[in-house]
Amino acid sequence: MNEITIHLKSLIEQKDWKNLKNQIHELSPLQISEIIEEMSKSDGILLFRLLSRQYAKETFENLSHDTQEEIINGLAQNGTKITSLLNDLEPDDRTAFFEELPGKVVQPLMQLLSEHERKIAGQLLAYPEDSVGRLMTPEYVAVKSYYTVNQALDHIRKYGHDSETLNIIYVVDDQWNLIDDIRIKEIILASPEQKISEITDNKFTALNVFDDQENAVKIFLDQDRVAMPVIDNEGTLVGIVTFDDMMDVAEEESTEDFQKFGSIKEAIVNPLKAKVSTLYKNRVVWLTALVFVNIFSGAAISNFEDVIQSAVSLVFFLPLLIGSGGNAGSQSATLMIRALATGDVVIKDWFKLIGKELIVSLILGLTMAAGVALIASFRAPEIILVVSLTMVLTVITGSLIGLILPFIFTKFKVDPATASAPLITSISDITGVLIYFSIASVYLGI
């Protein structure tokens, strides 16, 4: 706990509510959210109860979902406080909170919303999960193309208070079809009597309400915008998505990909708060499956008992050689999964990449072979050639496995992160054992 948190906690213990309320309102909502996350559940709820309406809204948006749920449950006896909070939340933040809750919990909360906010919440939750429609907010400012700059500025002053952002102003026709999006700077610098149509070029990029969120992140980053319009299939402007929403998605996707690569079934945001049963269920499936995959390694080794008996020193180098192949494969897969996720490479690039990976892995293999040869010269000089050649081939094989698997998964429309490190390592282990003892068999004449 930092000094501020400790001080506020002491004020709670002293029940000095007036001083406590004054001091928390000297902090930013982000600081308050961090303090609540550090505090116990009861102290966090108590602190939240003392916040003003605006502070409560902004603080709530910065809390983790688990803490948000604790706050809502803690405010259950204060219907007025919950009603104000839920109605004040930005539509996209409220949707993000609702979609993580069971349906039976969401329904009573929906009833606390005003008719207008309930309609908005229902519309956003009706869009498919992981679609842009779940992220967007209907709070933006749009002007008509026939407005003068003066009329547009008057319109912005009148309706801009509740807008998520005023950096971008949207231009629509009478049917609310999107015509363009222009920066507020262009309107401010234009002549007051100019029409909006005179400063538009009708060139814009929009997201479709049904677009996948992960694909939307790529488009957003390519366009380098603080906000992007969202349209339906008829071209009607239905909302906007802002940079902070996209960055939240990017962080979630990165976390999910990273954990999938570690063979964790579903993303776990905070393992400290996750239940033991949840951590167990998310890890046991892949680990159990990989136990059976590794049976093949044992079976392969058992087929080379005669080779092992004739040169027991082969066993000394076994972990080193097959481990090197798995590590090379994991490195290669990490690079490919990242490149596929960012769109830097596509499926048609696989042939070029295989050629390049062959060269890189050959050089890596030769470098590592030199190292293992040096070790073998002291421990088992009679098998230097076997371990050196095996190192080169296992590094090449592991690297190619790590490169090809993500492309195969992508081809079959499966998340390439599913080509997890343990899976790649297990396959590399099997191939490494076969390569090692096959070479040894030929070399030793067995």
Asked if pLDDT for residue 281 goes beyond 80, the answer is no
Q: Strand pairing partners for 380?
A: none
Closest residue by Cα to residue 118 from 107, 105, 102: 107
pLDDT for the residue numbered 217: 80
Closest residue by Cα to residue 397 from 350, 336, 327, 444: 327
Asked if pLDDT for residue 390 goes beyond 90, the answer is yes
> 3-state DSSP call for residue 111?
coil
Mean pLDDT of 29-51: 86
Mean pLDDT of 243-265: 61
Asked if pLDDT for residue 150 goes beyond 90, the answer is yes
The model's pLDDT over 9-35, given as tens digits with 9 standing for 90+, comes to 888 888 888 888 888 888 888 888 888
Asked if pLDDT for residue 329 goes beyond 80, the answer is yes
d(C-alpha 391, C-alpha 400), whole Å: 14
Q: Answer whether 96's CB lies under 8 Å from 60's CB.
A: no
6-14's contacts with Cβ under 8 Å and 24+ in sequence apart are 8/35, 8/39, 8/47, 9/39, 9/43, 12/43, 12/46, 12/47
The model's pLDDT over 103-128, given as tens digits with 9 standing for 90+, comes to 777 878 888 888 888 888 888 888 88
pLDDT for the residue numbered 93: 83
pLDDT for the residue numbered 269: 47
Q: At what angle do helices 79-88 and 53-62 cross, to 10 degrees?
A: 70
Structure confidence at residue 294 as a pLDDT band (50, 70, 90): low
Percentage of residues of the chain with pLDDT beyond 90: 18
Distance of CA 301 to the CA centre of its chain: 40
pTM: 0.54
Asked if pLDDT for residue 263 goes beyond 60, the answer is no
Residue spans of beta strands (DSSP E) within 287-373: none
d(C-alpha 73, C-alpha 442), whole Å: 70
| CA distances for 305 relative to 289, 323, 379, angstroms | 26, 21, 21
Asked if pLDDT for residue 285 goes beyond 70, the answer is no
Question: Mean pLDDT score of the chain, rounded to an integer?
Answer: 82
pLDDT for the residue numbered 189: 92
pLDDT for the residue numbered 261: 47
| CA distances for 353 relative to 322, 338, 350, 367, 421, angstroms | 23, 14, 5, 21, 20
d(C-alpha 265, C-alpha 256), whole Å: 9
Mean pLDDT of 306-327: 84
Q: Answer whether 89's CB lies under 8 Å from 56's CB.
A: no
| CA distances for 223 relative to 180, 186, 219, 232, angstroms | 15, 18, 6, 20
Of 154 and 285, more confident: 154
Lookup: tokens for 78: 């204060």
The model's pLDDT over 168-204, given as tens digits with 9 standing for 90+, comes to 899 999 888 999 999 999 999 999 999 999 998 888 8
Structure confidence at residue 365 as a pLDDT band (50, 70, 90): very high
The 10 Å Cβ neighbour count of residue 191 is 11
Q: Strand pairing partners for 237?
A: 231
